Amino acid sequence: MINTSLKELSAQLALKKISSVELTQTFLGRIRELNPKLNAFITIDENKSLAQAQAADGLIASGQAGPLTGIPVAQKDIYCAKGWLTTCGSKMLHNFVSPYDAHVIEQFNRAGAVNLGKTNMDEFAMGSSNETSYYGKVKNPWDLDAVPGGSSGGSAAAVAARLAPAATGTDTGGSIRQPAALTGITGIKPTYGVVSRYGMIAFASSLDQGGPMAKSAADCALLLNVMAGFDLRDSTSLERDKEDYGRDLEQPLKGLRIGLPREYFAAGLSADVAQAIEAALAEYRKLGAQTVEISLPNSKLAVPVYYVLAPAEASSNLARFDGVRYGYRAPEYTDLTDMYGKSRAQGFGAEVKRRIMIGTYVLSAGYYDAYYLKAQKLRRLIAQDFTDAFARCDVIMGPTAPTTAFNLGEKSDDPVSMYLSDIYTIAVNLAGLPGMSVPVGFGANGRPVGLQIIGNYFSEAKMLNVAHQYQKATDWHTRIPQGL
Amino acid sequence: MSLNLADVKRIAHLARIAVIDAEMPGYLQQLSNILSLVEEMQAVDTTGIEPMAHAQDLVLRLRDDVATEPDLRAKFQAIAPQVESGLYLVPKVIE
């Protein structure tokens, strides 16, 4: 059951071969057994989950079920869920029981899905290893000495270890794709504006985008159908017709033009990752696709631009955590300024404080033009590179990350080296394009490798098709870590 | 541009993060490292390029000026650190 697709689980629920309560209990049992090793979840509430499962069984019995009714989904702890502790991985929100639902949570509730629990994450989604969480590191189920990636590392580990049939993530600079790659699962970050950010705790608002993380592209399509949609309460939510992201899954790939950016295969890419990517590209050629070399000449600027824009937006977004209306307040202080300063110094972890301070600096008087405005201009050049590239290809492919999962502690003392693990994913956020990661094998150390697929704006259905056809021809996505 | 300890102190104050003196050199080092990473931007000529604030060219939506949110004060204040008679309490600001 733990390796069964969402479509098949849904069919079994409809045929009453299994109930949602039984399904939920199975996964809660796995969480009870394996979460102590992985630390993938921050909050589990069996009663709440089972009550939702019971309600779902009612819907199924009365013939009102949709494709996700009764399916347990683990929710990244960045999504506010009414009555659930919602920490965003931070001490700052250690006591924040959300009074309302994020749009994404509402959508899953409406679909009759079961909230299986809140998954661990880098604090305020700032990190690429899940080591910045106040609630402890998440471990990679393929190797407990390795990081699961981040920031959606809890969701990634939960799906990889089959503690959940599916999960949600968010992606500001690679936070869905990089952990998906490092744990051997499938994840997609949609075009900016497709999934509402309402109730999704903000990090860098012009880059943040929610998306699904699951065992396969077909499962991601079903999840995205529920997550996507216009929402008035997010000022950047796009008003578009509802679409079925699974509509093109079965299209053949004959004639597909795959662009290979030469900058993504240059120095810095480890040999074992390159080898797995080449093998995947060979498989695509067998499926009838052709590859063409392209260039994204401003790629090397993506990391510098991101580390100006994302901290700038974060410093503004995180100003709301001041110890007044919710969250952590320092126990002792002398006056209001001291209360703000101490609450924030004690409530935020080191990486969050670094980014707030960098953001504050680049926005401060005298530096705005040299940093913030400069970065926004370069952002346009980076986005233009993709527009030019898509004139010559249908999708772009390359590695999701330059290496397989690194060891716990390996980069945690060197923020800049950590930042460079996102060199291939960040430009996609800056451009606002959709990107996904698909498992394509293993590196020399037995840790998973992810292939990144980048599509043009609103081409999610096409990308899922491209990923699905590969997954029909290969079985990497069905592999499960052994020996947990 | 390189930072010094006075800059870090000023940034910490602007960010309302109480940084104790012992932590200052660490922050100075780390923030300087990040700034050298982003320094690469300065090598590119961006004359005449329109800044890109956002992935989509969106126009802010307008709506009728009517209340759309119900009164949730009690619910929101139930999770606040300190409230009294419907007000959030903070240390005295005006003597």
CB atoms A419 and B91 under 8 Å: no
Q: Is residue B88 part of a domain?
A: no
Annotated catalytic residue, options A10, A76, A152, A237 = A76
Using a CB-CB distance cutoff of 8 angstroms, which residues of chain A are in contact with residue B13? 341
For the full predicted model, state whether its pTM sits above 0.95.
yes
> What is the structure's pLDDT at B2?
81
pLDDT tens-digit map of A261-291: 999 999 899 999 999 999 999 999 999 999 9
Q: Is residue B39 part of a domain?
A: yes
Confidence of residue B1 (pLDDT cuts 50, 70, 90): low
Range of the domain at B26: 5-43
Annotated catalytic residue, options A128, A151, A421, A459 = A151
Q: What is the mean pLDDT of chain B?
A: 92
Q: Is residue B89 part of a domain?
A: no
Q: Is residue B73 part of a domain?
A: no
A139, pLDDT greater than 80: yes
pLDDT > 70 fraction of chain A, expressed in percent and rounded: 100
Which residue of chain A has the CA closest to B24? A354
pLDDT tens-digit map of A155-199: 999 999 999 999 999 999 999 999 999 999 999 999 999 999 999
CB atoms A341 and B18 under 8 Å: yes
Interface probe, candidates B1, B5, B41, chain A, greatest A C-beta count within 10 A: B41
**Which among A236, A325, A357 is the nearest to B56, CB-wise?**
A236
Using a CB-CB distance cutoff of 8 angstroms, which residues of chain A are in contact with residue B45? none
Q: Is residue B55 part of a domain?
A: no
Q: What is the mean pLDDT of residues A414-430?
A: 93
CB atoms B54 and A236 under 8 Å: yes
Which residue of chain B has the CA closest to A314? B15
Question: Residue ranges per domain, chain A?
Answer: 6-255, 300-376
Confidence of residue B88 (pLDDT cuts 50, 70, 90): very high
Our answer to whether residue A175 is catalytic in this structure is yes
Q: Is residue B29 part of a domain?
A: yes
What is the tally of structural domains in chain B? Answer: 1
Q: Which CATH number is associated with domain A6-255?
A: 3.90.1300.10
**Which among B27, B37, B80 is the nearest to A303, CB-wise?**
B37
How many beta-carbon pairs below 8 A join chains A and B? 169
CB atoms A361 and B61 under 8 Å: no
Our answer to whether residue A364 is catalytic in this structure is no
Distance CA A476, CA A174 (A): 21
